[in-house]
């Protein structure tokens, strides 16, 4: 395994080697250097809506495999805690619900809802006990638009990473967004997670792969904007297509924007449409299988603008190309490619970040 190098000059650069998407070694390295160090969507705020409630989950099953629990204490503060007992390691909370404390059903150790140690039978004569080590570890957590994001060991504060996104679209009425289960779906994709991101990061393929989407946006005016850990693709609406009504004082006031596609390193996509938000979470299962979760959040008053099947249709078109690329990069004749300098800047950006962190 050699190091990855992506030339900063896109006109000189080569794309990631096929081996990156093919080999388990690169995937394992990404687990530790990327997935452990960046941010993950975990759940919406309502899973712990009430004071004194708990919601256990596993962070990136099969990859990070970290047992965690969301908790809300009596005062209303929310936490993300390790869900592993500090005595001998039993998983603590097994079901969501309301509880006054977290108690271990192995030998009876109890914790407060902020994770601090509370009590333990038979430990009176134990020296230097309890210590800070007997508390449950607290993870970095950030609430955004009613959703919780966590990171086991963040390299960057989520707020800083997302600042460029909020500057652009801070005018949107996020507090009115409601999760819509009927239009949310998970897609299983037979490809490496990064191939799915590569495809998302360029509009170059739109005229070839998405005939319906190509009818709605002005391909010639498609835009890319790069920020340190985020990039943005802007789709400009054709005449008569739905578009945002952007207030004065924001960068795109007066323009007919069809959609903002924000990508957040490494695997989160916030797609804003006039009807609401489609959050895509690209969850690796292993080096050649991925689950892409599409979660829709809608505004009650504009939801009718959402064309019922347009997102699913585009998704299935993308999935087919990405799965074909996964087969293609297995070829002994494929090494790597080159970038189209005006069209593949965001793919180049992603590859540069991967090379930087691996």
Binding site for ligand FES (CB under 6 A): 85, 87-88, 90, 104, 106-109
Q: Which is nearer to ligand FES, 116 or 142 (CB)?
A: 116
DSSP bridge partners of 82:
68
- Least Å from the CB of residue 90 to ligand FES: 4
| The CA-based dihedral angle spanning residues 93, 99, 104, 108, taken in that order and rounded to the nearest 10 degrees | -170
Partner interacting with residue 133 (select from ligand FES, Fe ion, none; CB below 5-8 Å by kind)? none
Give the residue with the Cβ less far from ligand FES, 24 or 88: 88
Give CA–CA dist 54/63, Å, rounded: 23
Say if CB 295 and CB 281 are below 8 A apart. Answer: yes
Nearer to Fe ion, 65 or 190 (CB): 190
Both tokens of residue 68?
Answer: 């965690």
Q: How many CB atoms lie within 10 A of CB 316?
A: 11
Residue 68's binding partner out of ligand FES, Fe ion, none, with CB under 5 to 8 Å set by partner kind: none
Q: Is 323 exposed, middle or buried (0-12, 13-18, 19+ CB in 10 A)?
A: middle
Least CB distance from residue 88 to ligand FES, whole Å? 4
Residue 318 binds Fe ion (CB under 5 A): yes
**Nearest approach, Cβ of residue 110 and ligand FES (Å):** 9
**66 vs 318, beta carbon nearer Fe ion:** 318
Q: Which is nearer to Fe ion, 43 or 343 (CB)?
A: 343
CA separation for the pair 192, 205 (Å, rounded): 19
User: Residue 267: which of 149, 356, 185 has the closest Cα?
Assistant: 149
φ/ψ of 227, rounded to 5, equals -130, 170
From Fe ion, ligand FES, none, interface partner of 104 (C-beta below 5 to 8 A by class): ligand FES
Q: Which does 88 bind (CB under 5 to 8 A by kind): ligand FES, Fe ion, none?
A: ligand FES
Residue 198: name its binding partner from Fe ion, ligand FES, none (Cβ under 5 to 8 Å by kind).
none
Among left, alpha and beta (phi > 0; psi -120 to 50; other), residue 304 is alpha
Residues forming contacts to Fe ion in the complex (CB under 5 A) are 318
């Amino acid at each position: 395994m050699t190091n990855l190098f992506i030339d900063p000059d896109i006109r000189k650069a080569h794309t990631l080697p096929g081996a990156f998407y093919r080999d388990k070694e690169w995937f394992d390295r990404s687990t530790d250097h990327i997935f452990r160090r960046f941010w993950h969507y975990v759940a919406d705020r309502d899973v712990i809506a009430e004071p004194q409630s708990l919601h256990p989950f596993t962070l990136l099953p099969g990859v990070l495999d970290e047992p965690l629990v969301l908790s809300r204490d009596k005062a209303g503060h929310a936490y993300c805690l390790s869900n592993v007992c500090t005595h001998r390691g039993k998983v603590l909370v097994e079901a969501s619900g309301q509880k006054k404390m977290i108690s271990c059903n192995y030998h009876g150790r109890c914790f407060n809802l902020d994770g601090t140690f509370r009590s333990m039978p038979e430990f009176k004569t134990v020296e230097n006990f309890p210590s800070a080590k007997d508390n449950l570890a607290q993870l970095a957590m950030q609430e955004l638009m009613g959703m919780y994001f966590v990171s086991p060991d963040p390299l960057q504060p989520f707020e800083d990473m997302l600042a460029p996104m909020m500057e652009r679209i801070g005018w949107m009425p996020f507090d009115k967004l409601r999760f819509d289960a009927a239009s949310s779906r998970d897609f299983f994709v037979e490809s490496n997670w990064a191939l799915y991101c590569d495809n998302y990061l360029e509009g170059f393929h739109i005229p070839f792969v998405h005939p319906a989407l190509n009818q709605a946006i002005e391909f010639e005016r498609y835009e890319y904007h790069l920020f340190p850990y985020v990039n943005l693709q802007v789709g400009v609406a054709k005449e008569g297509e739905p578009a945002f009504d952007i207030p004065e004082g924001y960068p795109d006031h007066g323009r007919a924007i069809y959609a903002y596609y924000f990508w957040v390193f490494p695997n989160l996509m916030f797609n804003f449409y006039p009807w609401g938000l489609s959050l895509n979470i690209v969850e690796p299962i292993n080096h050649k299988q991925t689950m892409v979760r599409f979660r829709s959040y809608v505004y009650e008053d504009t939801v009718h603008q959402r064309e019922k099947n347009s997102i699913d249709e585009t998704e299935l078109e993308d999935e087919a190309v990405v799965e074909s690329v996964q087969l293609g990069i297995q070829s002994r004749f494929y090494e790597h490619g080159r970038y189209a300098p005006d069209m593949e800047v965001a793919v180049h950006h992603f590859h540069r970040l991967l090379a930087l962190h691996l």
